[in-house]
Amino acid sequence: MSGPNKFLDDMSKLMTNAMGVAQGARTEAETAMKSWMDRWLADRDFVTREEFDAVRAMAQKAREENEALKARIDALEKGSTG
């Protein structure tokens, strides 16, 4: 009765090997896609999140400085006309 058991063992090994090959192909496809996307994005001159955040912080600081300077100018103008 080793015939049916051997067949099932062989089928089990075959399925295990097929799963390993499928997993390897999936990993390779993911790596290739990530590499392609990285190259594509690099060619587009997109900014990184860090660069965007840095420029946004600089713009916010400049906006605050402009508001403070405007308030000083308004105060000086009121003082010279009053």
Q: Where are the domains of the chain?
A: 1-46, 47-82
The 10s digit of each residue's pLDDT in 1-47 is 466 788 888 888 889 988 989 999 999 999 999 999 988 888 888 88
Which tokens in the block code for residue 32? 């290739």
The 10s digit of each residue's pLDDT in 50-70 is 999 999 999 999 999 999 999
Q: Is the pLDDT of residue 81 over 80?
A: no
Query: Distances in Å between the alpha carbon of 62 and those of 15, 36, 47, 55?
Result: 64, 38, 20, 10
Q: What is the pTM of this model?
A: 0.45
- 3 state SS of 45: coil
CA count, 13 A, side-chain hemisphere, 65: 6
Q: Report the C-alpha gap between 22 and 29 in whole angstroms.
A: 10
The model's confidence at residue 75, banded by pLDDT at 50, 70 and 90, is very high
